[in-house]
Amino acid sequence: MKILHIQQYYNEKMGYQENILPYYQKKLGHEVVLITSTRSDGFNNDSRVKKEAEFEENGFIVKRKKIKGEFKRRFVIFDDLYKILDDEKPDYIFHHSVTSPSIKTVSRYKQNNPHVFIAVDNHADLNISGRNKLWKLFYYNLFWKYIISKHDKFIDIYFGVTPSRCLFLEEELGVRVDKIKLLPIGADVDNADVTITKEKLLEKYDIDKNCIIVTHGGKITPEKQIDRIILAFKRVNNPNIRLVLFGDIQDKKVETLIKTDSRIQFIGWLDRKDTLALLKHSDIGIWNTQHTTLLEDCVAVGLPLLLRYYGSTSHLIDRTGLFLYEGSIREIYEKLLILIENKHLLEKFKQNAFNLCNLLSYENIAFESIEYTKDLRAKETHKKFMSVEYSDDNYLNFRVINRM
């Protein structure tokens, strides 16, 4: 098939779903093109505005197209998207984001070309979207719910990329549950083959090679409560552990706390290669608030996790780590101590990681994304991770983390 992805904002050389899923679909033998705008998210001080261009990334073609305007960081308004679709003549359109005006153009194209399979995915959940009640009501529950209802008959399937993002489609946007399937953000196994040795990596960043390494990374903002990780870590009375933080610090409290314990190291922004290497060579990864695609990278390299349980992480531990249910300093400390003092448990978690990685590998996710064009019934990942054993949507904080 010819698969056409439509992505509002595209960030080159990153590890997001839109950078990786098309590569694995191409690997399965399909022709894959991604249409995006002349805008990115501007990470690491990069310019948001890009030139109109066509280039290859990860083996598939990316085409940056002009826009008429944008609702900054939410969606763009493409310039003549219908003509682009008509020129490309796809068999399968994978539209990233259910709340973008381009969904109207895609629906019109489907109306005129009924053989085309249309999949729309959703990356919003109540933890990151619609946190203001009035905004949620008017923007999601009224405006977008109405727009989606007008175009629903042209959409074959809706994918939620986590369990709670499946719920968001149903509960906030009014999509029928039988049209919603879990297609998780995957683990990039092909690119998780780390070549740099642990000794070389630790030497590069001046990290003690004889210590247990606990790591956390990403955009370090106040709402992510990294200060709690640091305060919990400081209570661990063990000189042979290191807390290694990486990414972009946007929290003054964290900057101050790092200086209070010589066992804490901040090593700055890492490229994708060194990010995967650090995760691979660490002993414990800890994320105490919301989902980040770094978690799927942890799955790809088999890193045991301490992870906050809610609807966008509930599928990411399967006897491969421990969940945090409150995220308090005491809970983080106690569960961190369990892992540090029980190395056999860490080894068991690493052994179990193989099975979870196979199921959540992008190779399997890409395969399922194609299988849905033949049969809309739930596939293996949906059946397993949408079950109450993994996704307990009656849990108080399943939809929204209580940030205490």
Q: Are 52 and 38 in contact (CB under 8 A)?
A: yes
Structure-block tokens of residue 13: 């050389």
- Per-residue pLDDT reduced to its tens digit, 106-119: 999 999 999 999 99
- Per-residue pLDDT reduced to its tens digit, 260-295: 999 999 999 999 899 999 999 999 999 999 999 999
Q: Number of C-alpha atoms within 13 angstroms, CB side, residue 88?
A: 27
**CATH, domain 198-360, list 3.40.50.12590, 3.90.550.10, 3.30.160.100, 3.40.50.2000:** 3.40.50.2000
CATH, range 2-186+362-385 = 3.40.50.2000
- Per-residue pLDDT reduced to its tens digit, 206-233: 999 999 999 999 999 999 999 999 999 9
Residue 140 pLDDT > 80: yes
Q: What is the pLDDT of residue 73?
A: 85
Contacts of 185 (CB under 8 A, 6+ apart): 17, 161, 162, 293, 296, 365
- The single-letter code of the amino acid at 244 is V
CA–CA–CA angle 273, 185, 14 (5° rounding) = 30
Q: What is the pLDDT of residue 81?
A: 97
CB atoms within 10 A of CB 340: 18
CA–CA–CA angle 276, 312, 322 (5° rounding) = 70
CA distances to 21, 56, 58, 164 from 37, in Å: 18, 15, 18, 28
**Tokens 């960043």 label which residue?**
205
Mean pLDDT estimate for the chain:
95
Q: Alpha-carbon dihedral of residues 400, 143, 106, 37, nearest 10 degrees?
A: -70
Among positive and negative, which fits the CA dihedral 340, 230, 335, 161? Answer: negative
State percent of the chain over pLDDT 70: 99
**Do 2-186+362-385 and 198-360 come out as alike in CATH topology?**
yes
- Per-residue pLDDT reduced to its tens digit, 315-359: 999 999 999 999 999 999 999 999 999 999 999 999 999 999 999
Q: What is the pLDDT of residue 130?
A: 87
Q: At what angle do helices 294-301 and 272-281 cross, to 10 degrees?
A: 50
Q: Are 163 and 182 in contact (CB under 8 A)?
A: yes
Q: What is the pLDDT of residue 44?
A: 62
Q: Are 3 and 31 in contact (CB under 8 A)?
A: yes
31 beta partners:
2
- The single-letter code of the amino acid at 87 is D
Domain residue limits, the chain: 2-186+362-385, 198-360
- The single-letter code of the amino acid at 71 is F
Q: What is the pLDDT of residue 404?
A: 63
Contacts of 366 (CB under 8 A, 6+ apart): 21, 24, 25, 27, 28, 186
**Largest Cα span, the chain:** 67
Q: At what angle do helices 362-371 and 343-360 cross, to 10 degrees?
A: 30
Give the separation between CA 226 and CA 244, rounded to whole angstroms. 12
Residue 200 pLDDT > 70: yes
b/e code 232-260 from CB counts within 10 Å (16+ = b): bbbebeeeebbbbbbbebebeebeebbee
Q: What is the pLDDT of residue 228?
A: 97
Residue 390 pLDDT > 90: yes
